[in-house]
């Protein structure tokens, strides 16, 4: 068994399938043996209840922390941006389902992507509608101790047309929602593309950041595969006293078992500060 990493990096299912096997529990065991202390699974809500419970049991046995799952990601319609009572009611219902999943898998954070913007409505009205929708969702999440983390997505490479794209924008929205259950998911891959300035934006938005995700650019693979200096970024996050989770929401730059070994080596290199 390898020594634990300094930070709680969280792989996901499939990342180590050549080394750990196809069974999710075996992948959890393999990752823990490599020193990883956390895990995330965007698709957790879609798994059968029995599988959720089996995964949660093994994570508890291993002492592996549960990271984010996706509570709601809207890709097609400007539901949040247009708002309204019907939308808020539907989103509260979705959050109730997320709370039940969180209870089963011992999750503290869930991802929310507040959909596309609308071309026919002035931007500030859309912002107010998004805030109202998130306030309604927080009314469900907060009593359960679940934290929605809002993920700004880059509009240039992967997600054109989405309402939330920048860290300062997410910071403003979290301030307006004013809930401990509405914070920022700082995906450093997306923000390297959208606005760069990673370390200063971490500092500016710090009090509203609850979760990080990792991915180098270009390519959205492991650290050292692109242009980003993740060793310095990880050092900075560690020095700020961050004890949460950094999700490894990226691919492997090389195929097969050798690629998985190279990914682990890259994290060892960047965690050596």
Assess whether pLDDT exceeds 90 at residue 92.
Answer: yes
**Secondary-structure percent of the chain, ordered helix, strand, coil, rounded to 5:** 50, 15, 35
Residue range 226-268, pLDDT digits in tens: 999 999 999 999 999 999 999 999 999 999 999 999 999 999 9
Residue range 215-227, pLDDT digits in tens: 999 999 999 999 9
C-beta of residue 79 within 8 angstroms of C-beta of residue 115: yes
Q: Crossing angle for the helix pair 49-62 and 24-33, nearest 10 degrees?
A: 20
**Spatial separation of the C-alpha atoms in residues 5 and 163, rounded to whole Å:** 35
Instruction: Give the count of alpha carbons within 13 A of 95, CB side only.
Output: 29
Q: Give the pLDDT band (50/70/90) at residue 1.
A: confident
Helix (H, G, I), strand (E, B) or coil at 248: coil
Task: Look at the pTM and tell me if it is higher than 0.95.
Answer: yes
Cα dist from 236 to 71, 92, 129, 229, 268, whole Å: 29, 36, 35, 11, 16
Q: Give the pLDDT band (50/70/90) at residue 27.
A: very high
C-beta of residue 176 within 8 angstroms of C-beta of residue 151: no
Q: In order of start, what are the domains of the chain with their CATH numbers?
A: 8-270 (3.20.20.150)
**Spatial separation of the C-alpha atoms in residues 169 and 239, rounded to whole Å:** 25
Query: Residue 85 burial (CB < 10 Å; 0-12/13-18/19+)?
Result: exposed
Kindly compute the dihedral angle of the four CA atoms of residues 65, 234, 33, 98, in this order, to the nearest 10 degrees.
20
**What distance separates the 2 farthest-apart alpha carbons in the chain?**
57
**Spatial separation of the C-alpha atoms in residues 130 and 135, rounded to whole Å:** 9
Residue range 124-144, pLDDT digits in tens: 999 999 999 999 999 999 999
**Spatial separation of the C-alpha atoms in residues 246 and 231, rounded to whole Å:** 13
Confidence (pLDDT) at 9: 99
Residue range 179-226, pLDDT digits in tens: 999 999 999 999 999 999 999 999 999 999 999 999 999 999 999 999
Query: Within 10 A of 256 (CB to CB), how many other CB atoms are there?
Result: 12
Q: What is the rounded average pLDDT of the residues 10-21?
A: 98
**Spatial separation of the C-alpha atoms in residues 41 and 15, rounded to whole Å:** 11
């Amino acid at each position: 068994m390898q020594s634990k990493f300094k930070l709680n990096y969280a792989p996901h299912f499939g990342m180590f399938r050549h080394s750990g096997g196809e069974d999710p529990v075996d992948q959890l065991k393999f990752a823990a043996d490599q020193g990883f202390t956390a895990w995330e699974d965007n698709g957790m809500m879609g798994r059968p209840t029995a599988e959720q419970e089996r995964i949660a049991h093994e994570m508890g046995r291993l002492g592996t922390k549960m990271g984010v799952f996706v509570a709601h990601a809207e890709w097609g319609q400007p539901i949040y941006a247009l708002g309204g009572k019907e939308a808020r009611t539907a989103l509260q219902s979705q959050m109730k389902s997320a709370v039940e999943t969180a209870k089963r898998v011992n999750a503290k954070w869930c991802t929310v992507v507040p959909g596309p913007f609308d071309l026919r409505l002035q931007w500030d009205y859309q912002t107010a509608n998004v805030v109202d929708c998130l306030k309604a969702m927080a009314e469900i999440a907060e009593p359960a101790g679940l934290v929605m983390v809002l993920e700004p997505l880059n509009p240039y490479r992967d997600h054109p047309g989405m309402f939330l794209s920048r860290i300062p924008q997410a910071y403003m929205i979290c301030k307006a929602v004013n809930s401990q259950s509405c914070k920022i998911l700082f995906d450093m891959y997306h923000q390297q593309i959208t606005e760069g300035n990673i370390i200063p934006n971490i500092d500016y938005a710090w009090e509203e950041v609850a979760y990080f995700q990792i991915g180098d650019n270009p390519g959205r693979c492991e650290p050292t595969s692109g242009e980003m200096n993740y060793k310095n970024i990880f050092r900075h996050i560690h020095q700020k006293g961050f004890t949460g989770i950094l999700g490894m929401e990226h691919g492997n730059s090389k195929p097969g078992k050798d690629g998985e070994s190279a990914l682990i080596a890259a994290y060892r290199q960047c965690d050596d500060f």
